[in-house]
């Protein structure tokens, strides 16, 4: 087995163990012995310390950090497609020829897409440890500053923000929404990531307060279900952005 194949396999095995056992003790339980035994039992691959230490990782701590970074790398990617599809359906059915129609479409996109995003995160096989993974990763940054692990953790957060930037940019272009002077889509995206993390905490601590919030946002003023996340996201959007004064819809940027 090639070096890169071995590295990827052992990271996958370590991630499986994290998901099954949680983060009560961080990544400390990811010892080489436990990971090697699991790889042999479930993947039929026998690994020795000599084939890994100094060849793939400097030591066990180096391996644990790579598993953590890999876990973060795809943390909310599962929800991106569902979020985009939900937003696309709303835009396709919207009246984009009037200011009121575009405003209503923007509100509905936020309500529906935010719900799709949260639902996708909850369905993820890492749902139970996602929040802990982010907190654990952030706690490692000062100690790992300047290392490959630090770069990987930062890159993971850059990917989170880039996904949000993509969704915001595409949707804003179609609906005719522009950023307010002095503010950027990236700043809005960073706050959206933070809001996701905060909502995840409260959704576990006090779920009766985070969902099924009725607001009169329907086409005829009928009440619709919102989440605390979508309400917060809508507030952020209108603080950072505003509708353009135009009448003709445009295509999103390529």
Interval 87-102: pLDDT, tens: 999 999 999 999 999 9
| Chain centroid to CA 114 | 12
- 11-25, 138-152, 174-188: lowest mean pLDDT where? 138-152
Query: For tokens 């490692």, what's the residue?
Result: 140
pLDDT classification of 212: cutoffs 50, 70, 90: very high
Count of CA atoms in the C-beta half-sphere (13 A) of 219 = 6
CA distance 190 to 251: 25
CA distance 192 to 87: 16
* pLDDT at residue 20, rounded to an integer: 80
Residues in the chain: 254
Query: Exposed, middle or buried: residue 38 (CB in 10 Å: 0-12, 13-18, 19+)?
Result: middle
Backbone angles phi, psi at 199, to 5 degrees: -60, -40
Query: For tokens 């307060």, what's the residue?
Result: 209
**82 has a pLDDT exceeding 90:** no
Q: What is the pTM of this model?
A: 0.78
Q: Which residues, 6 or more positions from 213, have their beta carbon under 8 angstroms from its beta carbon?
A: 225, 226, 227, 228, 231
- Running DSSP on this structure, what letter comes out for residue 110? H
């Amino acid at each position: 087995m090639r070096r890169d194949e071995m590295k990827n396999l052992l990271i996958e095995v370590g991630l499986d163990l994290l998901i099954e056992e949680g983060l009560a003790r961080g990544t400390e339980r990811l010892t080489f012995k436990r990971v090697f035994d699991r790889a042999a039992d479930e993947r039929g691959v026998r690994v020795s310390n000599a084939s890994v230490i100094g060849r793939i990782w400097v030591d066990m701590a180096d391996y644990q950090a790579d598993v953590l970074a890999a876990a973060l790398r795809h943390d909310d990617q599962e929800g991106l497609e569902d979020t985009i599809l939900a937003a696309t359906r709303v835009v396709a059915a919207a009246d984009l020829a009037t200011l009121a129609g575009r405003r209503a479409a923007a509100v509905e996109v936020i309500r529906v897409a935010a719900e799709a995003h949260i639902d996708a995160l909850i369905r993820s096989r890492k749902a139970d440890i996602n929040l802990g993974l982010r907190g654990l990763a952030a706690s490692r940054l000062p100690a790992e500053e300047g290392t490959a692990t630090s770069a990987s953790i930062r890159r993971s957060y850059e990917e989170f923000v880039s996904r949000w930037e993509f969704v915001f940019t595409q949707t804003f272009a179609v609906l005719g929404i522009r950023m307010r002077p002095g503010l950027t889509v990236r700043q809005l995206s960073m706050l959206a990531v933070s809001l996701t993390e905060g909502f995840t905490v409260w959704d576990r601590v006090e779920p009766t307060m985070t969902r099924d919030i009725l607001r009169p946002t329907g086409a005829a003023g009928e009440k619709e279900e919102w989440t605390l996340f979508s309400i917060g996201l809508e507030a952020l959007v209108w603080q950072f952005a505003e509708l353009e004064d135009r009448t003709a819809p445009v295509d999103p940027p390529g």
